[in-house]
Amino acid sequence: MKIPGLRSPHDKVGGLVYFGRMLDKIRLHAAGKLPADYVANLGERDWYFYDARCCRFLGVKYPALVKRVKQGGTDAQVLRWCLKVGGKKTSEQIAIWNTFMAKRGWRDEASGGVAEEKAASGLGRRKDIVTWFDLFDVEEGRKPAGVIA
């Protein structure tokens, strides 16, 4: 399902994958435009949620991030706030984050979850969907970017 205003998890803000998508979800939820299936996965309720992983990486709490996003500003301004609160990240830390997130579900312990969700979505035969990011993109009407090798 296409969701206007929700970008691909591959899109980067300040060099980080997923961060912009998390901001989009916060903004869409605040505007009452985020589908219920997505609302269920917001925040830090479960440690493995991508929002929770991103907040831990940045060293910020999700409720504080939501408050900051609602105050307004660009993605870059919100990221600068995160890095001020949680600490700056090195180029290596960002590279590790990006690679981990972009490959999640490809030949790791999350592979079974991707396969199950693909099957439940009627996409089980698709060979081009190997990561969670691929699945998000296809489910939202985008072509999968493919695994970064």
Q: Please choose, from the candidates 39, 37, 18, the residue with its C-alpha nearest in 3D space to the C-alpha of residue 121.
A: 37
Beta-bridge partner residues of 16: 13
pLDDT (tens digit per residue) in 12-45: 999 999 999 999 999 999 999 999 999 988 988 8
Helical (H) or strand (E) element with 12: strand 12-13
pLDDT (tens digit per residue) in 51-108: 999 999 999 999 999 999 999 999 999 999 999 999 999 999 999 999 999 999 899 8
Residue 47 DSSP label: T
For the CA atoms of 18, 42, 76, 12, the dihedral, rounded to the nearest 10 degrees, stands at: 10
pTM of this prediction? 0.92
